[in-house]
Amino acid sequence: MSLDQPTDFVKHQTTTRDAFLAGRITLSQPRHGFRAGSDSVLLGAAVRAGTKNLLDLGAGVGTASLAALALGRAETATLLERHAETLDLARQNIVENGFETRADVLALDILDRPAARTAAGLKSNHYEAVIANPPYFEAGQGTLAPEASKADARHMAEDSLDAWVRCAAGCAAGDGVFTIIYPARGMVPLLAALAPRFGALTVLPISPRPGENVTRLLVRGVKGSRVPLTLLASRALHGATGREYQPEFEAVFRGTAVLDW
């Protein structure tokens, strides 16, 4: 829900102030760049209760991790983002939502070498939970977004998904939980990247409506676990008709419930 309070930002970027979780958090984000939506909120609501330190890979303006903080799923969060203007918005959102003592940001590209990550302050084998909403078009697919931040969020090189998962595995503590949201059409490469590094994989398929094909996957894995994969029954975001969310998801988006899976 837009609060329609645009402000000029770096390089004349125009932003809006948008409410999430029925106003529990309010975020600045680009008016015309990549804009956070239901995927980011679901990812934040999917973080396990009691998480002490959360790492958000490719955090954007911070929607997923700040939702996790607002919902009480995590005590602290580290937001990793490579796009400078987006990172500035994330910093602004942390302060304006009162999370400056519970969240920090790292200017870093996930594809950087491990030495560069360490120098930037990213810790190895440390985070109890890692989350990611990575780019969902491979290079050459779809239409490249004109805004740099939107292009970064929607496009990546063919082998980058494995690099994202490898980064998550390197940063997660022993028994740390990695949760990722990804398009269903990418299930094969996603599971191929996850399986060597995480066990107890749990896959929650999400469809737009009952009886329709699955379009999104929420996948959770535990570092070092040998428990076999669990494929859950699919859940529909909306009812058979209309734009209303199913009660389970409506409660999540209004900030009165978390994603139970």
Residue 32's pLDDT band, with cuts at 50, 70 and 90, is: confident
Confidence (pLDDT) at 107: 96
What pLDDT score was predicted for residue 153? 43
Q: What is the per-residue pLDDT for 4?
A: 40
Question: Which carries the bigger pLDDT value, residue 226 or residue 140?
Answer: 226
Q: What is the pLDDT of residues 54-85, one digit of tens each?
A: 999 999 999 999 999 999 999 999 999 999 99
Mean pLDDT of the chain: 88
If pLDDT is split at 50, 70 and 90, which confidence band does 238 have? Answer: very high
- Which stretches of the chain are DSSP H helices? 38-45, 63-70, 84-96, 114-120, 148-154, 160-171, 187-194, 247-253
How is the chain split into domains, by residue range?
A: 36-253
Q: What is the pLDDT of residue 208?
A: 97
CB 72: neighbour CB atoms within 10 A? 12
Nearest in space to 93 (alpha carbons), one of 115, 69, 75, 120: 69
Mean pLDDT, residues 223-245: 97
Q: Taking each helix axis as running N to C, give the angle between helix 160-171 and helix 187-194, from 0 to 180 degrees, rounded to the nearest 10.
A: 40
d(CA 59, CA 183): 18
Instruction: Work out the average pLDDT over 160-165.
Output: 94
Share of the chain above pLDDT 90, in %: 79
How far apart, in Å, do the first and last CA atoms of the chain sit? Answer: 26
CA dist 223 and 229 (Å) reads 13
pLDDT-derived band at 108 (thresholds 50, 70, 90) equals very high
The amino acid at 181: I
pLDDT at 142: 39
Better pLDDT: 13 or 229? 229
* Cα(95)–Cα(49) distance, integer angstroms: 23
Q: The tokens of 152 are what?
A: 């970064």
- Helix, strand, or coil (residue 118): helix
User: Which pLDDT tens digit goes with each residue over 109-138?
Assistant: 998 988 999 999 999 999 999 999 998 644
Query: Taking a C-beta distance cutoff of 8 angstroms, is the pair 42, 48 a contact?
Result: no
Please state the pTM of the whole predicted model: 0.87
Quote the percentage of the chain above a pLDDT of 70: 85
**Cβ-contact 154, 137 below 8 angstroms:** yes
Phi, psi angle pair for 112, to nearest 5°:
-65, 160
The answer regarding whether domain 36-253 maps to CATH 3.40.50.2300 reads: no
- Asked if 81 and 109 count as a contact pair (C-beta separation under 8 A), the reply is no
